[in-house]
A and B are shown apart, each in its own frame.
Chain A
């Protein structure tokens, strides 16, 4: 498996990662090798096997009561925000 430069660029775009020109060939090489490496999985016979998305089988989702437990802590939470105005998180203009 050998990923092209375009494939790396499209993955990086999907993941919203800016890569500089020197990074692209590095990831091209290492991701290709990783995909070869994990390609080994093909060897396993998994016919009839259920995929496992959780390590403890048989457990099911717990439900919480519909109760409001939170109060306004905006000031505290927004202390970490890069930019806030009038209680809003500010980003560059979103064009729809």
Chain B
């Protein structure tokens, strides 16, 4: 199996790309077959990511599945080096799961579905790439690859929202999302160039995270340099992570997107940003991180509270969840900013747990919207009578998101709070207030939409389809499993969080 280990990550990135290529050549009048092929491709990706996660040796730790390919030679030397550690392993698994779920529930997309799956799989490949590479150039390459398909995915297959007085069109959501994310990525790009120039002055003109990491450890990056480059990474990656005040693309984008894209985007793509801050920011610029963490944790706290308050005042189901994503990504950012091993570990677990939870919520909202053609929580009521399983799953996801013990969200948020208590006590209190606010809007939503009397107009609603129930059920099981027995996940995460510099 040694050969497998060397090739595994490369195959993992390549499978969705080749699948996309294959689908491109399918006849477009056979949407069903295209969907089957996409399931097959996403299924292979899921199995691969499961095997990779299971085969990651947490006893040994460090980077595994290493493999380096020469890409271009001197004078600009770039290699494609692959390798994952305990932080990226769960996220690769997360992407495998959500991608497979997203493809499965996209059965309802029939309009130009060939293009849809090509773009969706390209996005999946980009995400796998970001988590699997050990090189700044390719990290950025795959980061952009993951962003690129979003415009068309939202613009073509998305939906517009009518607010009565104004209209949020899907084109608006798509363009806003695209410009925000690319604006964030240009900061990252400038920061990467700055790191390269600095490393080159120190005699190591290289993009490889391994050699740059060695350079950082030996203190070659001066404190002043770190202090001005770190905020570029922090804000640049932060935009994708929904960092306040650059989060506004996220609710608009998620709401406009079709269900599978919302799932992938809120579930996985936003994690790329947080992952980037850990992988690049904390590893290469520990001093800069140290100096800027008070800012990041304050912004993260604002994220939590602002997101929660906004979610409370939304009446559109999808906007509630969109803002709740902003709020929950705040916990991730806070956890990272504690620079405390419990806090950062909690942040990574929160990424996984929130990824599954939010994907589940978007899936269920999509199922409701497909049937009721409305998402207004003042209009929808008593859905649990007609959509029993959907309502039950939604309740589980909601309880996970407000941090009910026994579900994954509790463990993650508890760790983040613990980390924050040990470092920034007042903010920890605010964060707990945020969790209470989450309870308010989640319970309000559950009560309004699912409980109580049902209107006659909802008599005709049917429960989720078998696929929706199956995918939703799987997600629920994961939420419960991680909540009850987090050890398999935590031992992988901890082994790499413990060795992060600067903790």
Chain B binds chain A: no
* A interface residues with partner B (beta carbon < 8 Å): none
List B residues at the A interface (Cβ < 8 Å).
none
